[in-house]
Each structure stands twice: as C-alpha cells, then as structure tokens.
Amino acid sequence: MLRAIIRFLKKKMTVIIVPHSTRHPIRSSISSLLIFFMFFIWAGSFGWAIWIISKKINYEETIKTNTVLRKKSEFLAKSMAESRDYIEKVSEMETKLRGLLNLKSRKNIIEPAGIGGPSMHDENIIAHLFESGENFNSEETSMNLREMKRDSWLTTQGFREIEGYIEGEKSKLLATPCIWPAPGTITSRFGWRIHPLTRRKEFHKAIDIANKKGIPIRATADGKVLFSGWQGSYGRAIMIDHGQGFSTRYCHIQTLLVKAGERIKRGQTIALIGSTGRSTGSHLHYEVWYRGKPVNPIKYLVKK
C-alpha cells in the first residue's frame, strides 16, 4: 500500500490550458506530489478560516451574554441597595417607636438611634458589581442577601413586638374606668368618714355623686356586666368586669338598662340615678376595684 502511494506521488500529470483564441494550447507537466501538497495547503487554509469564523461568532455571543449578565448584576446591585436602605429606614422607625413607647427590647431598654444607608459590606459588594468586566463572588453575594433577609426578619419581629405592646396598652386603656359615670356634685369622697345614717366611722369605698333622679349613668370603660339587680342596702346595682384587673360598681340606681352577661362600651348609658336601698337622697354610689381591692375612683377620672 505504501509503495503504491509512493509510485502515485512520483507520477506526473499533464495540465492543458486551451485559450479562446487561435493560439496553440499550453501544456504543462506537474508531479502528483505537488498537486497533493497544494490540495493540503488549500484544505488547511479553508479549515483555518472556518475555525476563525466560529471563534468570532462565539466571541460575539460571549459579549452579548456578558452584557446581559452585567445588566442583571447592576439591577441586582441596585435592588440590594434599595432593599438595604428600606430596611434601615424601617429599623430606624422601629427605634423611634420604641423610644416614644418607652418599650424594652430584647437587648436594651431603648435601642441606640439608627443610621440609614447600606453597610460597608454592602457598599463593597455593590462597587464590585459595577466594575466593568468583573464577575462578582456568588457566595459572598448570597451571604449578603441572607444577612438582609435576617435583618428583615428581625425588623418584622420587632414590629410584631411593638404591635403586641400597643394592643396590650389599648386593652389596658379600654379597661381603665377613666370617665365620669354621671354629672353632679361629689357629696362624699373615698376614705374614712362618718356614715350619714348610722353615725359610725367607716371606710367609704366609693365616691357619691349627687344629682336628681333619672339622670343617665354611663359605663366608665368597656366590659361585661357581671350583675344587674337588687343588692341589699345598695339598692339596685350594676357590677361590670372590665378586664386587666379592673371592675366597677354602680349603686342606688332607679332604673336598670342592662342585664348580666351583656357586653358594654365606655360611655354607654347603663342606668338612671335614683335613691334605692339605704340612701339619704338621690345620688350615685360609684366604686372602682383593681385586682380585688377598692381604689379611689378620683385618680382615674379625667377632669370635667
């Protein structure tokens, strides 16, 4: 086989060029080896050209891909900066709310004032993302995003804590008997006194508000009616449980307007002033109890 190839390469081939004129044809003898060499050069050049073209196409595709990736990186960097700035503003708002409410946090009584803007770590990541032709570290970026997620979670928990505190304070406010149960003049205050009928010294657990019969009596806080009816020397009386340790009692009533078990609101008319039971005249006997003990109603009443 090798000898046959060598003999073929040693042979000569005649190339005839016939012109379009009256001139005689041109004859030339070329060895097969030269023809084979020229064919090899042509094939190599053609292959090299194809390789160069494919490389150029791949380069252009790479440029397009890098442009898209860079735009995505810029968008991610901008989103990270905006998200961090938003988280910082919300955290600062939480701190201010804690200060206004004097609310204790897990670490401090009141957290130090917050400072807005991205952290130094975020700024380094963002600067790296915006550098032309640079690829950012995906692990570092993922870590930064996890930190932002953690900060968002902590801020959310903080607002939930504040929300719970506000709800608790709202419940306390609604349960605190802080309005006047009826208009009139205080004729007997909370504390030791000489009873007007027995003439004995005794502790008066209420205040007496004198006014004419039929004047409306209002509930001083939200709550549930525990008792509405006759109660011995107190005459017709109403007892209301307000929650949060507070309860109130209204005595010597002429007309009852609510029943036991009813839910009532602060300011709702529950009865009319009278002089039932052991009484020297038309008035309201008003008691406030806190955690099972009578307290001075005056300390909870707003000024008229």
Q: Is the pLDDT of residue 114 over 60?
A: no
Q: What is the mean pLDDT of the chain?
A: 79
Stated pTM of the model: 0.55
Number of domains in the chain: 3
Q: Kindly state the average pLDDT of the residues 292-301.
A: 94
- Rg for the chain (alpha carbons), in Å? 48
- Residue range 226-241, pLDDT digits in tens: 999 999 999 999 999 9
CA distance 270 to 268: 6
In this structure, the answer to whether residues 227 and 287 fall within a common structural domain is yes
- The DSSP line for 2-49 is HHHHHHHHH-EEEEEE--SSSSPPEEEEEEHHHHHHHHHHHHHHHHHH
User: Mean pLDDT: which of 63-77, 145-159, 270-284 is highest?
Assistant: 270-284
In this structure, the answer to whether residues 159 and 113 fall within a common structural domain is yes
In this structure, the answer to whether residues 154 and 223 fall within a common structural domain is no
Residue 111 domain flag? yes
CA distance 270 to 256: 7
Bigger pLDDT: 218 vs 79: 218
Under 8 Å between Cβ of 97 and 155: no
Residue 180 domain flag? no
Structural domain span for residue 19: 2-67
CA distance 133 to 253: 87
- Residue range 33-60, pLDDT digits in tens: 667 777 778 777 777 777 777 766 776 7
